[in-house]
Structure 1
């Protein structure tokens, strides 16, 4: 270590809810550490969400360590500003050693053990490094997008704010995961004509047999399901989240209902060539598969209710309210009056700044409960880090406590 190099036992990269949860445990264990955040602690909630964004999980699942939800609506859904206030309240509750506006640009192994971390041109040495910067780094926009007529505005979901941001005219939304389905509803409420390219994302009902589906699944310990016990094993990490919404108290997002009310549904977008969108012939299949996933979840709840002898109201099976026509017709963007495209096809992780052998050939990190094969190097806050709940407010605390136990060498109780 050179004279200009600073040393500290633990460095946490990322000051969102995951990195802050890690810091909370280390503070309580009196482990010296620092949290580097490239922007601000709440920037992703403030800068990368649309105006009407709200949680799709009920407020009672907001359980950061030592900072449970204490509001008056545990079964409601926090809107954007409430989420920001909740996370800021968590920061204020324990004053973490947080360095905002301090991007980490390089991590390498140190010749004397541990890791060499460059942050804002400062050089640090740490025995332990926790990467809590998430997995949603580079917005995915296909290469052919550059050939689309520049008069058609293109934005990624992270840059969408509201309908007024887009020029007058119809909107093409590409991708039907959580963001795509909710943005379609946001535009539809504002009386915009919308076309949606429907992918393979599954759906789930908001309520079933008298309760929020999340409540049922929590009682059934679904969120405690570990990736090792999932039928898909590591493949679970590549699955798209179910689309549903917490808007206005929460309700289903039924794409068939959207179609019946005027939204144009199309299959998976294959390409856009000469300003004509071409789709795969999979619309019916994608809608049917999403409905089947929803039905399977309901069946599992039915079985649980019967097994436990729970008294709950019955509910009729879902009946499709709209069925697509068999033909697979391309969409001429100009003829359809489309003046903007919202890309909702996700993100790619970007860990190119990490020169530590903890990645597979595709550049994805490898871990077991966040612990990598590189001694003292960890990941936190990723979907399915250990359980289905790992990527939620409800599961971060347990994962952070586990990593804190790896750092301290003794069991750390989950707060």
Structure 2
């Protein structure tokens, strides 16, 4: 497909799960479109994740409606390469019009005529509409408190691959969401001494009473929650599909030798300081965990389900010494720490879109993915329409909504009054 002077109704930017889902729904509506991807299809799954990554949801859940993982048990957790291959297969099944190796440089609104002029690395595209399907994981963020890079090895979780990649010595992992916790446990299993800095978090059970937590969030209506609860904007979720899928329990990790610390506060001349909030953060995570168990028990009783009790799920490990006597300061050299892994999230980068599509901080201005800038759409954002938007199946349903909105706008544009017929 030649890019030069290409004209298309809708341009989709990004060929990960969001872009492929968008292509499916546009094709169903007969909307001419092209999907541009600067790397390979689903590249973020291949090169933007560590080697041992598993999907956080089981195969029956983390997929599109039109294709199953035919080589996995429904309750298994797909590895990153298997997920990437899944999306490549899905794109072929759709015969999706994807052009790889093409980067979008900028999108400019046309003057005195509809649509946009899109500058790419391979030429110009004229498009009536643009869907930014690049997702939320675009620019790794390392906080400003990080010490000078020359003092020790530092990398973002996006650039971590495996324990052998790191120099010898202990590791401080900052951030106890899914990525930070899984990386910290992998390093612990490899024989490393690991310090894990824990902030506010949710800690759901991997499974309870023979049902995965993805199922519980579904039947309890949690996936359909439309807005995040106030004050929860910076709360991460600690869940894992690694090693067959197990509930993350920070006290259990500490029993195995991991040293838990509170939120990382500052670095000064080789000394790292932590907030005195570890006990509080663990207690909040426990409360979140127990609340889901209670809601599940109530649902089982209310509906008369025959699901075996799971008393072990409420077992509480003793507080380790790092909790009863919190570490508030640590000399990095004395502790033998040679590496810091920053599992501190990502920022979006929509600088290539027209200014009206984002706020002063570069965050998308939208309602369920429909931008405040007419003709621009977003797809793949957390909480785009509901809590489930962050999962693969949630992206598919958000893409369906965006496709419907595009069709509505096309119908308005195609209107002709009686005198024109």
Pair in the same fold by TM > 0.5: yes
Cα–Cα, structure 1 residues 117 and 213, in superposed 2: closer, same or farther, change >3 Å? same
What's the secondary structure of 1:341's corresponding residue?
Answer: strand
Q: Which residue of structure 1 aligns with residue 132 of structure 2?
A: 131
Q: Which residue of structure 2 aligns with residue 332 of structure 1?
A: 331
Q: Which residue of structure 2 aligns with residue 223 of structure 1?
A: 223
Mapped partners of 1:110, 1:80: distance in 2: 40
Do structure 1's residue 292 and structure 2's residue 293 form an aligned pair? no
Q: Which residue of structure 2 aligns with residue 321 of structure 1?
A: 318
Cα–Cα, structure 1 residues 356 and 144, in superposed 2: closer, same or farther, change >3 Å? closer
Q: Bigger CA drift: 164-173 or 318-327?
A: 318-327
What's the secondary structure of 1:127's corresponding residue?
Answer: strand
CA contact (8 A) 1:171 1:195 kept: yes
TM superposition shift of 1:379? 0.5
Aligned counterparts, 1:251-290, within 5 A: 251-290=246-285
Q: Which residue of structure 2 aligns with residue 363 of structure 1?
A: 362
Do structure 1's residue 242 and structure 2's residue 224 form an aligned pair? no
Aligned counterparts, 1:152-231, within 5 A: 152-227=152-227, 230-231=228-229
Mapped partners of 1:370, 1:320: distance in 2: 43
4+ long deviations beyond 6 Å: none
What's the secondary structure of 1:63's corresponding residue?
Answer: coil
Cα–Cα, structure 1 residues 147 and 44, in superposed 2: closer, same or farther, change >3 Å? same
Q: Which residue of structure 2 aligns with residue 45 of structure 1?
A: 45
Q: Which residue of structure 1 aligns with residue 77 of structure 2?
A: 77
Cα–Cα, structure 1 residues 327 and 407, in superposed 2: closer, same or farther, change >3 Å? closer
Mapped partners of 1:210, 1:60: distance in 2: 15
Cα distance per residue 1:276-325 (max 9 Å; x no partner):
11111111111111111111111111121121111222233342432512
What's the secondary structure of 1:360's corresponding residue?
Answer: coil
Q: Which residue of structure 1 aligns with residue 401 of structure 2?
A: 402
Cα distance per residue 1:358-383 (max 9 Å; x no partner):
22333211222211222221111111
Cα–Cα, structure 1 residues 78 and 28, in superposed 2: closer, same or farther, change >3 Å? same
Mapped partners of 2:307, 2:270: distance in 1: 52
What's the secondary structure of 1:196's corresponding residue?
Answer: strand
Mapped partners of 2:202, 2:249: distance in 1: 11
Task: Give the CA RMSD over aligned residues.
Answer: 1.9
TM superposition shift of 1:410? 9.1
Q: Give the structure-2-normalised TM-score.
A: 0.91
Cα–Cα, structure 1 residues 278 and 146, in superposed 2: closer, same or farther, change >3 Å? closer
TM superposition shift of 1:125? 1.9
Mapped partners of 1:71, 1:389: distance in 2: 25
Q: Give the structure-1-normalised TM-score.
A: 0.92
Cα–Cα, structure 1 residues 101 and 65, in superposed 2: closer, same or farther, change >3 Å? farther
Q: Which runs of 5+ in 1 are unaligned?
A: none
Mapped partners of 1:44, 1:149: distance in 2: 28
Mapped partners of 1:99, 1:133: distance in 2: 15
Mapped partners of 1:89, 1:21: distance in 2: 13
TM superposition shift of 1:60? 0.6
What's the secondary structure of 1:102's corresponding residue?
Answer: coil
Aligned counterparts, 1:84-99, within 5 A: 84-99=84-99
TM superposition shift of 1:202? 1.5
TM superposition shift of 1:195? 0.7
Q: Which residue of structure 2 aligns with residue 31 of structure 1?
A: 31
TM superposition shift of 1:239? 4.3
Between the two proteins, the alignment pairs up a number of residues equal to 402
Mapped partners of 1:103, 1:318: distance in 2: 51
TM superposition shift of 1:356? 3.5
Mapped partners of 1:402, 1:5: distance in 2: 29
TM superposition shift of 1:175? 0.6
What's the secondary structure of 2:184's corresponding residue?
Answer: helix
Mapped partners of 1:71, 1:327: distance in 2: 46
What's the secondary structure of 2:283's corresponding residue?
Answer: helix
Do structure 1's residue 382 and structure 2's residue 377 form an aligned pair? no
Mapped partners of 2:310, 2:62: distance in 1: 29
Q: Which residue of structure 1 aligns with residue 413 of structure 2?
A: none
